[in-house]
């Protein structure tokens, strides 16, 4: 009974989020509520559904997908200048995020391990290989999400 209530509430929240996408954009700086929706809500729902025995439900934060797309764009700009970052795995990870591929527990562990190590190379004011690679893996949004699981 409790599981049904939680799943029904999850569906309601998802519908509310989808409805919010059609509303005029909010202020530039995300509110605390928006930050919670982006980072914590997917982790909380994943935790709840895992505890209900429905198996792992991984919902990558939208901001992580945006980061991966930004990394792809920056990489293309570098390649247009005949520069490359030689980050084949990062390109594959970005494509997984952008395509919405299902991520295995092993994938999630690799994301978490890489992002926690590579955070030191990320500088949002620079467009170097460290920053690009970090974004390809989903950036801070993906790291925060995985660390919250």
What is the per-residue pLDDT for 9? 76
pLDDT of residue 52: 45
Higher pLDDT residue, 108 or 49?
108
> Do 80 and 114 fall within a single domain?
yes
Residues 88 and 142 in one domain: yes
Sign of the Cα torsion 13, 14, 18, 19 reads negative
Quick check: is 45 in a domain? yes
Domain hosting residue 136, numbered range: 62-148
Q: Above 50 in pLDDT, residue 82?
A: yes
Alpha carbon distances (Å) from 1 to 6, 11, 47, 49, 82: 9, 15, 18, 14, 59
Confidence (pLDDT) at 71:
95
For residue 53, what pLDDT is reported?
44
75 and 45, same domain (yes or no): no
Q: Which of 32, 51, 70 is the last residue of a domain?
A: 51
Q: Of the ranges 17-21, 43-47, 72-76, 79-83, which one carries the lowest mean pLDDT score?
A: 43-47
User: pLDDT confidence of 56, banded at 50, 70, 90?
Assistant: low
Considering the domain architecture, whether residues 44 and 70 belong to the same structural domain is answered as no
Q: Are 126 and 138 in contact (CB under 8 A)?
A: no
Work out the average pLDDT over 62-80.
95
Same domain, 37 and 72: no
Classify residue 72: in a domain, yes or no.
Answer: yes
- Whether 22 and 72 share a structural domain: no
pTM here is 0.63
Mean pLDDT on 118-124: 93
Q: Both 89 and 25 in a single domain?
A: no
In a domain, 56, yes or no: no
Give 3's pLDDT tier (boundaries 50, 70, 90): low
Q: CA 85 to CA 79: how far, in whole Å?
A: 9
Q: What's the average model confidence in pLDDT over 91-106?
A: 94
Return the pLDDT at 99: 94
Q: Is the dihedral of CA 89, 91, 94, 100 positive or negative?
A: negative
What is the Cα gyration radius of the chain? 17
What confidence category does residue 14 fall into, taking pLDDT thresholds of 50, 70 and 90? Answer: confident
Residues 74 and 142 occupy one common structural domain: yes
Same domain for 82 and 46:
no
- The answer to the question of residue 57 being in a domain is no
One domain, residues 45 and 66: no
Distance, CA of 137 to CA of 68 (rounded, Å): 6
Report pLDDT for 50.
Answer: 53
Q: How many domains does the chain have?
A: 2
* Domain co-membership, 16 together with 88: no
Q: Tell me: do 42 and 110 sit in the same domain.
A: no
Q: Can you tell me the distance from the alpha carbon of 48 to that of 54, in angstroms, rounded to the nearest whole number?
A: 9
């Amino acid at each position: 009974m409790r599981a049904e209530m939680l799943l029904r509430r999850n569906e309601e929240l998802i519908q509310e989020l989808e409805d919010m996408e059609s509303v005029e954009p909010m202020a530039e700086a995300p509110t605390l509520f928006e930050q919670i929706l982006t980072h914590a809500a997917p982790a909380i729902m994943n935790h709840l559904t895992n505890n209900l025995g429905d198996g792992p439900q991984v919902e990558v934060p939208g901001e992580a997908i945006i980061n991966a797309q930004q990394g792809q764009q920056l990489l293309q700009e570098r390649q247009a200048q005949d520069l490359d970052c030689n980050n084949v795995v990062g390109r594959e990870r970005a494509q997984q995020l952008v395509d919405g591929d299902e991520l295995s527990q092993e994938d999630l562990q690799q994301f978490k391990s890489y992002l926690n190590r590579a955070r030191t190379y990320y500088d949002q004011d620079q467009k170097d290989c460290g920053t690009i690679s970090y974004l390809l893996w989903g950036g801070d949004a993906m790291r925060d999400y995985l660390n919250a699981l």
